[in-house]
Structure 1
Amino acid sequence: MKRRLLFGERMLLGEGKEPFHAVIPFRLRGVFEEKDIQYALGRLQKKHPWLRANIHIDEKNVPWFEVPEQTSPIPIRIVDRKSEEDWQQESMQEWHTLFDYKNKPLIRLVWIKGNDSSDMLLVFHHCLCDGGSAITLIYEFLKVLDDPTADIGMENPILGIQDVVPAPILKNNRQRFKAKMIGRLATLTIKCIPVSKKAIDRQTDYLIHWKLDQTTSQQLISHCKSLEITVNTFLSATVLDIFKNVRGDKAFNKVSCPVDIRRFAPQVKEDHIFAFGLMIVLSSNPKLDFLDNLRLMQNYVDRKTAKLNPYITMMVMESAHNALNSFTKLLKRGKSSNDCMFSNLGRIQIPHQYQSFTLETIFSPSVLGPLGNTTTMVTSTYQGVMDFSFVGSEGYLPYHEALAIRDELIDSIKRRLNYQAAS
């Protein structure tokens, strides 16, 4: 079984010499055996063919996912647990540890082993899958770890664009012509944009983590519902405000928000191993106050998402493979134009209590790659608690400014909730 990497996947892979990794840590209360963990990982590989795949580069220098006859198990690295913060250091180490993509799977597990409490880190190359896929993998892994006989089904894997874009669209001459022309225009534009000879020195990478307490988390969700504003829009607007306050003229007033393709392409199932995303860029109006900006931004989000078309987007990108190198250079060497990427995974619906262990918490994923500004904030909610991971690099956002952004973000949320309660 094999398939050619799509444009976005090739971009994330690059030449395979620079890591572009996502890490999702979670904490378990219980006692575990390595053989049981390996068995559960093996069941994931049995269900999902691409978890067994290596990457093969053909004679035209095109990468393919390919499942070999003799597959390698998902590697496990075991570390003795010394503190509750070990997972942060191990996450940062995993960002920079390359996958041997020609010979081994593009996924691995780190087990920070304690006596009765363990942290586990699911690590994968971002060209393999997105955060939504990874959350499903954790759900399935824990289900089998708890009950080796559990049925997790079998994935019918995506074998190419034809498994995502409906045939009436993919074979429509008008749509194909439109996609090709947009792709050619984008290719020409990208090749004409001047870039520097060297990539920006991103210097030291860092990870900042925090949680809102359960009361504050629930108040925030309720407050957004009362305003008829999504939590994502509220937090995006707040992030834009805080970047402006902390960075002043260095702020760009732009935040990029990934949108799950599964909302618009029902062909991509929850348990599909897939790494294609859509994007919306948000900005605030400096002439408006926070509440008016919220309404304006929510209206923009609603209109923009209504127009998102994953099918045409995929067709355009697939027509632009010859622009891949130029696009990658632009991302690596071009000037940064946004403050950060902000991603809200929303409520994670994975059981808390199992027969032989407890899932105490899931930490929000962290992602780091070589394509431009690394500043990324990811939030998720588990057991009613909102969790944040904030990734950055000194060359883009100094660490002391990132700490100030975290502190002001927490303070701003609580201040607005307190004002709402008082009024």
Structure 2
Amino acid sequence: MRRKLLFGERMLHGDGNTLFNAVIPFRLRGVFFEADLHHALEKLQEKHPWLNAFVKDDEKQRPWFIVDEAQSVKIPVRIVKRTGDDDWQTESQKEWHTPFDTAKGPLIRLVWIKDDVVSDMIFVIHHCLCDGGSAMSILTELLQLLDDPNADIGKEDPIKGVEDIIPPAILNNRKKQIKAKLIGGLATLVLRLIPVKKNGVDRKNDYLIHWKFDRELSKDLVVYCKSAGITVNTMLCGVVLSAFKQVRKEQAHNKVSCPVDIRRFAPEIKKDQIFAFGLMLVVSAYPGLDFLDNIKARQKHVDKKSAKLDPYATMMMMESAHACMDNFTNLLKNGKSSNDCMFSNLGKIDIPHQYQLFELETIFSPSVIGPLGNTTTLVTSTYRGHMDFSFIASEGFIPYEEALAIKDKIISIIKEQIGHAVIAVV
């Protein structure tokens, strides 16, 4: 089985040696055996063919996902002795910088940080293989199989190309094809003409800052957003923009990029299908408005932009622009950064926490770091009522002390706004 990497997947894959690892940590409390874990991973590979894939270039240097059905590959497991609650952070950062051999596969591995009772596990997946939604499905199924080796997790009908995603009436529409080729061709021409420095920013040391809200604060934030008529995602975007502005002042860009789950707009992509392409919204603050008015105005902007998102047209255009791949990635790597950070909210994670053999104590928000320009990323998720944050960045873009100040400012802004809401109610 084989298929060409789509434009977005090629961008994330790079030259085959490019580090772009997504790291998904979680904590289990209970006892199970290594053989059970290997069995569960094998069952995952049986369901999801692309978890067996490697990447190979054809004669035109176009990369393909390939599954050799005659020769299986096992998902590697690295076992580490657990010495404390923060070991997962150390191992996460180590996994950022450990490349996959994409020419051999698989593009997924697991780290097991264990003591007698607690296991901190880390799924590490090359970002060209899947997004956060796919990763959560894989985690859900792993836990089912770890608890019950005979669990029926079904069989994935894998995506084999754009024809499995874009409806035929759109994919074969002559006007849409011409429009996609024209936009793709124009993008290729423009990217060839844009002058780009040979070398990008020296990003220096990468780091991870993690924190978690208790249930009360997490709940109060949700209640505040509902009462104000805004989403938690838009609220947090506003908080992030404000925190960057207050800490970084003139160095702040007033721009946050927000990935959007393509499954919301393309129902052809099922929840448990392995897929990596996403959509994107860019959010900025409006001058002259106070915090809440700004958030409400931004909510209208986000709703309007979201309604116009068209995954099919976007994919068709990008698939017509493969010729500009080198120029595009060179611009991302070496061009001047114009945004403060990438902000990704996975929302509420609906995975059971109580199993027969163990308890899923917590899921830490994933982290990812890649080579395409500014590495600054904030990922948040909510599990068992706790909102969790992973702030990833590099000293070359944001000094560590400034990142700590941004974290503190995010927390203080949220508490201040919730306090204002309580006072207003009282």
Smaller-chain TM-score range? over 0.9
Paired with 1:122 and 1:290, the residues of 2 have a C-alpha distance of 38
Paired with 1:240 and 1:357, the residues of 2 have a C-alpha distance of 40
Task: Write out per-residue CA displacement over residues 203-248 of structure 1, whole angstroms, 9 at most, x where no aligned residue.
Answer: 0000000001110000000110111100000000010001000000
1:276 pairs with 2:277: yes
Aligned partner of 1:84 in structure 2 is 85
Paired with 1:294 and 1:98, the residues of 2 have a C-alpha distance of 40
Q: Post-superposition shift, 1:416? A: 1.0
Q: In structure 2, what residue type is equivalent to 1:354? A: Y
Task: Write out per-residue CA displacement over residues 271-297 of structure 1, whole angstroms, 9 at most, x where no aligned residue.
Answer: 010000000000001211111111111
Structure 1, 188-197 or 217-226: larger mean CA deviation: 188-197
Paired with 2:198 and 2:99, the residues of 1 have a C-alpha distance of 25
Q: Post-superposition shift, 1:71? A: 1.5
Q: Post-superposition shift, 1:190? A: 1.6
Aligned partner of 1:39 in structure 2 is 39
Q: In structure 2, what residue type is equivalent to 1:221? A: V
Give the 5 Å matches for 1:176-325.
176-325=177-326
SS at structure 1 position matched to 2:378: strand
Contact kept, 8 Å, 2:147 with 2:357, in 1: the verdict is yes
Aligned partner of 1:131 in structure 2 is 132
SS at structure 1 position matched to 2:178: helix
- Consecutive unaligned residues of structure 2, counting only runs of 5 or more, are none
Aligned partner of 1:415 in structure 2 is 416
Q: In structure 2, what residue type is equivalent to 1:56? A: K
SS at structure 1 position matched to 2:125: strand
Paired with 2:95 and 2:385, the residues of 1 have a C-alpha distance of 28
1:112 pairs with 2:113: yes
Structure 1, 313-322 or 410-419: larger mean CA deviation: 410-419
Which TM-score applies when normalising by structure 2? 0.99
Paired with 2:346 and 2:82, the residues of 1 have a C-alpha distance of 28
Paired with 1:214 and 1:35, the residues of 2 have a C-alpha distance of 36
SS at structure 1 position matched to 2:120: strand
Task: Write out per-residue CA displacement over residues 160-195 of structure 1, whole angstroms, 9 at most, x where no aligned residue.
Answer: 000000000000000001111111111122222211
Q: In structure 2, what residue type is equivalent to 1:35? A: A
Q: Post-superposition shift, 1:100? A: 1.0
Paired with 1:117 and 1:421, the residues of 2 have a C-alpha distance of 39
Aligned partner of 2:375 in structure 1 is 374
Paired with 1:228 and 1:276, the residues of 2 have a C-alpha distance of 30
Q: In structure 2, what residue type is equivalent to 1:84? A: D
Paired with 1:189 and 1:378, the residues of 2 have a C-alpha distance of 32
Paired with 1:330 and 1:71, the residues of 2 have a C-alpha distance of 38
Q: Post-superposition shift, 1:104? A: 2.2
SS at structure 1 position matched to 2:409: helix
SS at structure 1 position matched to 2:354: coil
Q: In structure 1, what residue type is equivalent to 2:181? A: K
Paired with 1:82 and 1:364, the residues of 2 have a C-alpha distance of 21
Aligned partner of 1:141 in structure 2 is 142
Q: In structure 2, what residue type is equivalent to 1:24? A: I
Paired with 1:408 and 1:303, the residues of 2 have a C-alpha distance of 29
Q: In structure 1, what residue type is equivalent to 2:320? A: S
Aligned partner of 2:103 in structure 1 is 102
- Consecutive unaligned residues of structure 1, counting only runs of 5 or more, are none
Give the 5 Å matches for 1:16-95.
16-68=16-68, 69-95=70-96
Q: In structure 2, what residue type is equivalent to 1:271? A: D
Q: Post-superposition shift, 1:18? A: 2.1
Which TM-score applies when normalising by structure 1? 0.99
SS at structure 2 position matched to 1:36: helix
Q: In structure 2, what residue type is equivalent to 1:16? A: G
Q: In structure 1, what residue type is equivalent to 2:349? A: I
Paired with 1:295 and 1:177, the residues of 2 have a C-alpha distance of 38
Q: Post-superposition shift, 1:307? A: 0.3
Q: In structure 1, what residue type is equivalent to 2:330? A: K
Paired with 2:313 and 2:199, the residues of 1 have a C-alpha distance of 33
Contact kept, 8 Å, 2:32 with 2:357, in 1: the verdict is no
SS at structure 2 position matched to 1:28: strand
Contact kept, 8 Å, 2:16 with 2:103, in 1: the verdict is no
Task: Write out per-residue CA displacement over residues 346-397 of structure 1, whole angstroms, 9 at most, x where no aligned residue.
Answer: 0000001000100000000000000000000000000011000000000111
Give the 5 Å matches for 1:312-391.
312-391=313-392
Paired with 2:291 and 2:189, the residues of 1 have a C-alpha distance of 39
Paired with 1:419 and 1:287, the residues of 2 have a C-alpha distance of 20
Aligned partner of 2:123 in structure 1 is 122
Task: Write out per-residue CA displacement over residues 7-66 of structure 1, whole angstroms, 9 at most, x where no aligned residue.
Answer: 000000100222001000000001121110010011100000000011111111111000
